[in-house]
Amino acid sequence: MLKTKLISQMTKTETSIMLRLTLLLFISVSLSLVDREARAESPNIIVIMADDLGYGDVSCYGATALSTPHIDRLAQEGLRFTSGYCSASTCTPTRYSFLTGTYAFRGKRTGIAPPNAPAIIKPGTETIASILKRAGYATAVIGKWHLGLGDESGPDWNGQLKPGPLEIGFDTCFLLPTTNDRVPQVYVKDHRVLNLDPADPLWVGNKKPSPDHPTGLTHRETLKMDWSHGHNSTIHNGISRIGFYTGGHSARFRDEDLADKWVEKSVEFIEQNKNHPFFLFFASHDIHVPRMPHERFQGKTSLGFRGDSIIQLDWCVGELMQTLDRLQLAENTLIVFCSDNGPVLDDGYKDGAIEKIGSHRAAGTFSGGKYSVYEGGTRTPFITRWKNRIKPGVSQELVCTIDLPASLAALTDQELPGESCRDSLNLLGALLGEANSRGRAELVQQNNGNNGTYAIRAGNWKLHRYDKKTARNVVVEQELENTIVPQFQLFDLEKDPAEKTDVAVQFPEVTERLQRRLDEIIKQGGSRPGIQPVDQKH
């Protein structure tokens, strides 16, 4: 009675204040609920990206010439995808798309980056790291970068190396700046070359710095691993590389120690963040050339250093899993295992990969490999594991590394700003193997950068588009060949997974439909539902 009377006696302003207070209370209670819910869905996340690893290169995907027990265990305890893809068949564009959630053909200079490339992903771009950082994660990239460092004038090797990963969402980084067949062989920690002595500055360039500078051409007989094409410039650790450099001797590493270093730094990062959600992008350099695994792995397989590097990669995966087990984090950590492009045997060094291949099929039953839009170029091992959350099994859903930004944004309850992650789809359900959750209906594949060759897979149809009319992408006796090809080819992946029989003439309406759809996806500037249109000029 009294209460009613009191309320009825309140002025209009008082009532409004009361209502506002109630609303505020309601909002803060709901926010704390959401917070708790979000925390419940904030597993640690480790993306292990192998380099140049093919669909058929690990035993859980059918390899019999070698055994990869740790990767196999990951698959046994998780979900092994048979249609898991990266978005391009070379490194830089796949890494660009994985981080930004945008097809690399939409970006500038997204092709294979040279040693002195400036940062390709501009500060302020939404990335998988910035999304997870916003969600409260500690974020790190450890391993190969190959996405450029520094402003438009390129990396300042003796000064501050920025912008770089730290300007697009990573709290910390420990990097091989490009790819190890390119100069220089130094680590970059956050904004600096590690252990650089200012008295011995590092110089990196495209031209021979002096007439007597030893190279793979002038001192070929001194090399511990000979080159087969390119890779004949500056020599370090008995291996000649792409590009030239001098100085920075105290900062240089040995190729044989790279994998150990990635594991050491990763274990440190995991230990530091064991009580806090973390995101680790473990960017292995295995099994890219020059393949120079640690001495303890050399000779472990019959496949030469290419096979031995797979064993080294497998060891790294085992160390990461063991660290999670030791810290009791396995049930609170989502691991995604993938590759940046398909396999290649001779990629510039005479390491015996072709001679020792025997019956091993690096791309499994698929055709093509690195540099190609055949399935072998982009369909790779792809495994997700989250103990006691993901039901172990095999999934045929179509998923791609480009979908990780939107899917992990969904997992951690983050909104994607309108123009960001233009081609990333939320496939969280499919990645976690939830019942009735579907993967992609269609995926665009490309070979390199923004002037390349495209393909589109829609269901079981696959259309290739060769604007240049030639393709350096057919693996014949495991060697790359330039061939003249029709501009469009159509394959039925269900009947012909090796893409041997072009059926474009038999199915003109499918060919035309996919041509139009591919054109539309390229022109419309984004394929994520709800994406805001962009002005193509910017």
Q: Report the interface residues with ligand NG6, using CB under 6 A.
A: 51-52, 90-91, 112, 146, 179, 181, 229-231, 242, 288-289, 341, 347-348
Task: Pull the structure tokens for residue 295.
Answer: 């001495």
Q: Which is nearer to Ca ion, 379 or 387 (CB)?
A: 379
Side chain identity at residue 235, one-letter code: I
Side chain identity at residue 488, one-letter code: F
Contact by Cβ (8 Å): 147, 120 = yes
| Closest-approach residue to Ca ion (CB) | 91
CB-facing half-sphere around the CA of 185: CA atoms within 13 A: 21
- Which does residue 72 bind out of ligand NG6, Ca ion, none, counting CB within 5 to 8 angstroms by kind? none
Q: Which is nearer to Ca ion, 335 or 344 (CB)?
A: 344
Side chain identity at residue 196, one-letter code: L
Residue 178 Cβ vs ligand NG6, minimum distance, rounded to whole Å = 8
Residue 113 Cβ vs ligand NG6, minimum distance, rounded to whole Å = 8
Determine phi and psi for 480, rounding to 5 degrees: -75, 140
- Which does residue 347 bind out of ligand NG6, Ca ion, none, counting CB within 5 to 8 angstroms by kind? ligand NG6
- Which does residue 326 bind out of ligand NG6, Ca ion, none, counting CB within 5 to 8 angstroms by kind? none
Q: Which is nearer to ligand NG6, 230 or 429 (CB)?
A: 230
Q: Which is nearer to ligand NG6, 402 or 463 (CB)?
A: 402
Give 205: exposed, middle or buried? Use CB within 10 Å, 0-12, 13-18, 19+: middle
- Which does residue 171 bind out of Ca ion, ligand NG6, none, counting CB within 5 to 8 angstroms by kind? none
Residue 341 Cβ vs Ca ion, minimum distance, rounded to whole Å = 5
Strands 278-283 and 479-484, by their bridges, are unpaired
Residue 404 Cβ vs Ca ion, minimum distance, rounded to whole Å = 17
What is the contact surface with Ca ion in residues (CB under 5 A)? 51-52, 91, 340-341
SS (H, E, C) 5-24: HHHHHCCHHHHHHHHHHHHH
Residue 340 Cβ vs ligand NG6, minimum distance, rounded to whole Å = 6
Residue 91 Cβ vs Ca ion, minimum distance, rounded to whole Å = 4
- Which does residue 453 bind out of ligand NG6, Ca ion, none, counting CB within 5 to 8 angstroms by kind? none
Q: Which is nearer to ligand NG6, 179 or 453 (CB)?
A: 179
Buried b or exposed e, range 329-346, using 16+ CB within 10 angstroms? bbebbbbbbbbbbbbbbb
Distance in angstroms (rounded) separating the CA atoms of residues 401 and 60: 19
- Which does residue 346 bind out of ligand NG6, Ca ion, none, counting CB within 5 to 8 angstroms by kind? none
Distance in angstroms (rounded) separating the CA atoms of residues 200 and 191: 18
- Which does residue 289 bind out of ligand NG6, Ca ion, none, counting CB within 5 to 8 angstroms by kind? ligand NG6
Bond preceding residue 290 cis, omega within 30 of 0: yes
| C-alpha distance across the termini of the chain, in Å | 66
Residue 65 Cβ vs ligand NG6, minimum distance, rounded to whole Å = 22
3-class SS of residue 230? coil
